[in-house]
Chain A
Amino acid sequence: MSDVSTQHEAGDLATVTRAMGAVDPAVAARTRELKEWEDIAFVLRSKDFEPPGREGGFGAEWQAHLIGESLVEVRGDDHFERRRLESVLFRRDTLLDYERELVLPSLRREVGALAETRDADGLVRTDLLRLAKRVSVDLMTTLVGLDGIEDEEAISEFAELYEDLDVGVRAKYTTGDPGAVVARALDAQRRLVERHFRPSWQRREQLLRDGAEAPNDLITLMIRHPEHYGRWDRELVEREATLFMTASVTTTGNEVCHAVREIEGWIAAHPEDAEKRTDEAWLAAAFNESARLHAFGWMVRLAVRDTQLPDGTSVQQGDLFWLDFRAAYDELYGGDASRFDPSRRQTEELAPYGLAFGNGRHTCIGKMLVLGDGATGTEERRGTARTILLELYGQGMRLDPERPPQTSPGSVREMVESCPIVLTAL
């Protein structure tokens, strides 16, 4: 593990690919690097560019074993159709229910249990990553429709399999052997499918056959729409569920931990802002700024047809492009773009969270789940991240001074491995 504060995720192709385990040097050599905001915004929004899938490029071929043709990879009309079908899981009222009926009660239950686990000095210590993931698992099982992950034994068994699965889904970011992490992940996926996915699927099929009401979740949706999901191989539904599982748990936990580390660092340097820890608008700005810095420093896109860049440069189908988000931030914000500043003056071109959720057709489907209705801190839906931050800062959350947060050395992304905290007001 590495101390988080010693790391900074790079955005340029040369630095990142030196550390990537899944990169083919021949592919990297023929990849064009884009650093200007105009080009990056154009490529992300254009219908002529897609994330690379099974055809490969920077490890996407490894990821495809686990989430190939899922929402993050499906293209064109198929993407529109999938997005439209799955939108029922992300309606405004549904998101509000997730937040109020699932996330908050789950978090309060966990915090309540922690109150019984005081150390000898009377303080309550825990790990923020574990806590945020635990809360997100409750949300994820409801969203996907995985039954039987409720008691502590089942949750802990699930968490073990989930970790292997998650690392495999992010195989393109590994600094090690992508084949090995994908093999472990495929085994975890098979076991999760057998233990949870298939029984949950069969239960919902039976409910629908009986004319009973089935829950509004991904599995029910996929059963109801064989005309769409049946167009691919039988395992597509498992890969789609895998995407939802991994996207909704790890992202939230990782970004919340980074945000707390940045907030605490800021307050150490600006003690006059200490009371803003419970100011919702300030927390929203701080989370957005942290997400901009830590969620993605770069992305890869594949040209799916011949086209042109804004300056007229020709592009051939099959060309790969490396989008250096950090360079674009420097252009838009000036030289201090890589510094955390929750009071940063925003630009019209970019949301306060930057490209943390991507942009264009493949913007993260869970964006509003994490962010809520917006970025100002005044909206009805707070999103899971702000809900967790507000609740825990209300309990006097501070980083544990004895144990700094750690990130995984096995990833070119800044993936948090632990983030010990003290709840000083609990």
Chain B
Amino acid sequence: VSVAVSVDPQQCALQGYCERIAPDVFELRDGETTVHVLRESVDGAELEELLEEAEASCPTRAIRLAKA
């Protein structure tokens, strides 16, 4: 199963919780107003678990996951 990852720019408040949980996928970058998604499609159960944790931990619920 692959998971498509995106971030809603209207919701993202740059709190960085996703980066702390899944640094291989999310990165805060100076000057950007939305967290940067390093990998827009992710495979593998371990990373999927982390992504679900990041999605549910995001204070503004800005992360969108779509399983293909």
Contact = CB atoms under 8 A, between A and B. Distances in A.
A360 B60 contact: yes
Interface residues of B, number: 17
19 contacts: A45-B15, A80-B20, A83-B57, A83-B59, A84-B53, A87-B53, A91-B52, A91-B56, A92-B52, A92-B65, A348-B10, A349-B10, A350-B10, A351-B11, A360-B13, A360-B60, A363-B59, A365-B59, A368-B61
Question: 6 closest Cβ contacts across the A-B interface?
Answer: A87-B56, A87-B57, A45-B13, A360-B13, A363-B60, A90-B56
B59 A362 contact: yes
Contacts of B61: 363, 367-368
Contact of A84 (B10, B11, B13, B17): B17
Contact of B59 (A88, A92, A351, A361): A361
Interface of A is mostly: helix
Interface of A: 44-45, 47, 80, 83-84, 87-88, 90-92, 348-351, 359-363, 365, 367-368
A193 B56 CA distance: 28
A359 B61 CA distance: 10
A359 B56 contact: no
Contacts of B10: 348-351
Contacts of B60: 359-360, 363, 367
A225 to B, nearest CB: 14
Contacts of A84: 17, 21, 53, 57
A360 B17 contact: no
B58 to A, nearest CB: 8
Nearest to B55: A92
Contacts of B56: 87-88, 90-92
A45 B34 CA distance: 12
A45 B11 CA distance: 10
